[in-house]
Structure 1
Amino acid sequence: MALTLDVSGWADDPNTLGAYASARPGRYEARDLLAQPIADKLFFAGEAVAGPYAALCSGAYYSGQAQAKAVIKALGS
């Protein structure tokens, strides 16, 4: 069985340039502030706002799920 590896052009993408989220030393709590919706109309998700899963793909996934639920609640559905 051959091993296959899927990768993206993340490092060369002009929209990301290989960037990822990081907090300045002593400013980790800023992630919690960023995770708060604005007027129940603008919601943020991703690894940057994933609490203990920050900087992980799983964090992006889990925060996306949580924010999707928050959007549904805000819409009253």
Structure 2
Amino acid sequence: LETFAEHDSRSVQHTLYAMGEAVVRTLDVEEIHLAMPNRHHIPVDLRPFGMENRNEIFVATTEPYGLIEGTVRRG
């Protein structure tokens, strides 16, 4: 959970690998398979309401959407 929460993610794939690597590195686990949704979120334009959005309010888009899966094995 710490890796997911504190990881500086460049992509879903990057985070998936970082989480899998943390599991096989610290636990007695040989292999882990993870699946994560790849859903884009864009900032809501609050200007029509006379407000500024300081990257605090986002809306999920319906497309593109995917499911990213990966397996990390102890090497």
Same fold (TM over 0.5): no
- TM-score where L is the length of structure 2: 0.28
Higher Cα radius of gyration: 2
- TM-score where L is the length of structure 1: 0.27
Report which structure shows greater RCO (CA 8 Å, sep ≥6): 2
